[in-house]
Amino acid sequence: MEIVHVYTKKRNEFGRQCNFSDRPAELHVDILPDPSLASNFIERDPCDVPIQCTQEMSEHEVNTERFESDTRGINHVEGGWPKDVNPQEMEQTIRFRKKVEKDEHYFSTIMQLGSNMEHCIKQNNAINIYQEYFEEEEVVEESEEQPSAKTINVFRDPNEIKRTATCLSWHPDGSCKLAVAYSSLGFQNISPDMSYDSYIWDIENPNKPEMTLKPVSLLVCLEYNPKDSHILVGGSYNGQIAYWDTRKGSQPVEMSTIEHSHRDPVYKVIWLQSKTGTDTFSASTDGQVLWWDIRKMSEPTERLVLDPNKKGNLDNALGAISLEFETTMPTKFMVGTEQGLVVSCNRKAKTPAEKIVCTYSGHHGPIYALQRNPFFPKNFLTVADWTARIWSEDIKESSIMWTKYHMAYLSDGCWSPVRPSVFFTVKMDGTLDVWDFLFKQNDPTLSLKVCDEALYSLRVQDNGRFLACGSQLGTATLLEISPGLCTLQRNEKALATAMFERETKREKILEARHREMRLKERSRSEQSKDEDTKEGDGEESVEELATRTEAEFYEIVEAELKKRAKEQEKKEKDVCEEKEV
């Protein structure tokens, strides 16, 4: 039975303002009960109804609005003196005191209180009621606790227009401060009202940053000087480098000149090991790596163009997105490029051509993070596209270990400074992954959703316990990870060494095998070339190659989709079966 209500409206009345008016109730439809419909239903007898004789409770969660609190102290000033005594006058106060002391009541009170007090004092001296009776041994048994991470504090960008927290740097002594660089990495995404400030936060106080840094342009990266904790160097969006001294205020002490700076945003700046502690180097997507001495910022001290052909040609250069420098190996450094190559360089080379030692390829996208393992400097971690890979310096063709391809882009990663087999990565879907490859290699040991927006940066504190990650809306979250993930396990170093060696050996064998096969193919194709006169017989043309690859790609995608559909069907079928039963 269909109930239809029709009304008409003139075309020229469409969009007119509605004028409401009162009118009495009208009965439009009256549906009377139809007993014949009852034959569609069967009476159910008996009916099972669950009853519970308990208090009904419901669970509610409430999130309060952020409450800004400020700590203040009160200074007590002397008071309570009787009117005739002036508390500033020593004589009067002494006289008053002496008078009180002569009071009878005073004596008896003091005697009594004194005896009570003595009893308690002696008690304290006799037994320490908080004494540790069972001192724990040094070696803690293998705790089967679940690895976990807990958010301690969240530092939000105080500005209205939120910018991405692109770089974080911990204070070198004690790590009680966190410097966060805010910028907007989207192309031409900077609105005129966007504030350029970057902040230094005290980790105990998430309400207000401890200090503001005011650069000329948005800061993309920021680093504390490990030798001098008052100095920070920052690379900005317009290509300039600036350094701040926190004792001298919010303005940069000195900035590099525009003519000699980078032409693109400076993506990474690192302090170098030097006697003066004032050397840094910076990398940018314009293809240059520049060395600076912060005392003289008018010109870089050295320049390197990342031309893979080693000709110093800027047009050909690879754009640099990340830098790596380990103080234990001061002559070498590595650059991660936008094109997915890791370039290993030698600082001490005489000619620019010799500076670039070798390249490692294997990634499909820009390399957002590059770091050597603090315990095994020959192995380094790269984070790019949808995977994180671990490489050995000796193997240039491929990485020795890699994670599976994730659903979201990985944006940053770093090693744990205390455990050689643990590293952290953050993804664009807002999750933080903690990987422990001695425990599990296929999946992260711990995967935690930190926030709903993308995470762009990550930094672990030197004690390995705390880490901070920065998100797209400028929120820096401070997390504490469970002790199991930041205490060195027994044999961990030995096991990690063994694992690295094993994987390196495997890759070496594979490389050797590939080389053999290639040699065989080459010798075979040379033979066939002698027989055949046609040129380029064994090679397909570019178009054929393209169509073949396309077809293969679509095949793989379809197969995967089919597999997923099948799994989904199976799941639904299982659910249906359960319902029926």
Partner 1 sequence: MWIWPCGNTNPIKAEVEETLKRIQTHKGVIGTIVVNAEGIPIRTTLDNSTTVQYAGLLHQLTMKARSTVRDLDPQNDLTFLRIRSKKHEIMVAPDKEYLLIVIQNPSE
d(CA 381, CA 424): 10
120 sits near partner 1 (criterion: CB under 8 A): yes
Smallest gap from Cβ 89 to partner 1, in A, equals 14
Judged by CB under 8 A, which stretch of 92-100, 150-158, 204-212, 412-420 contacts partner 1? 92-100
Smallest gap from Cβ 118 to partner 1, in A, equals 6
Are 472 and 180 spatial neighbours (Cβ–Cβ below 8 Å)?
A: no
111 sits near partner 1 (criterion: CB under 8 A): yes
Smallest gap from Cβ 211 to partner 1, in A, equals 29
351: number of Cβ within 10 Å: 8
Taking the least distance from each CB to partner 1, the nearer of 130 and 133 is 130
Smallest gap from Cβ 71 to partner 1, in A, equals 16
Q: Which of 38, 86, 89, 124 binds partner 1 (CB under 8 A)?
A: 124
CA dihedral 466, 270, 212, 238 (to 10 degrees): -130
Smallest gap from Cβ 99 to partner 1, in A, equals 10
86 sits near partner 1 (criterion: CB under 8 A): no
Judged by CB under 8 A, which stretch of 35-43, 109-117, 246-254, 379-387 contacts partner 1? 109-117
Binding mask of the shown chain, residues 46 to 85, with x at each position contacting partner 1 by CB under 8 A? ------------------------------xxxxxxx---
* CA nearest neighbour of 469 among 520, 415, 413: 413
Smallest gap from Cβ 104 to partner 1, in A, equals 8
Tokens of 291: 């060395």
* CA nearest neighbour of 377 among 439, 327, 437: 327
Taking the least distance from each CB to partner 1, the nearer of 3 and 90 is 90
Taking the least distance from each CB to partner 1, the nearer of 96 and 291 is 96
d(CA 420, CA 335): 22
Taking the least distance from each CB to partner 1, the nearer of 105 and 490 is 105
Within 13 Å and on the Cβ side, how many CA atoms surround 65?
1
The owner of tokens 């390995």 is 464
d(CA 417, CA 403): 20
* CA nearest neighbour of 165 among 525, 534, 476: 476
For the chain, helix (H) and strand (E) counts, in that order, are 5, 28
Judged by CB under 8 A, which stretch of 98-106, 210-218, 299-307, 518-526 contacts partner 1? 98-106
106 sits near partner 1 (criterion: CB under 8 A): yes
For residue 52, the Cα-to-chain-centroid distance in whole angstroms is: 48
Computed from CA positions of residues 69, 70, 71, 73, in that sequence, does the dihedral angle turn out positive or negative?
negative
Judged by CB under 8 A, which stretch of 22-30, 115-123, 417-425, 479-487 contacts partner 1? 115-123
Provide the terminal-to-terminal Cα distance of the chain, rounded to the nearest Å.
34
95 sits near partner 1 (criterion: CB under 8 A): no
Within 13 Å and on the Cβ side, how many CA atoms surround 504?
16
94 sits near partner 1 (criterion: CB under 8 A): no
Positions in the binding site for partner 1 (CB under 8 A)? 76-82, 96-97, 100-102, 105-107, 109-118, 120-122, 124-125, 127-128, 130
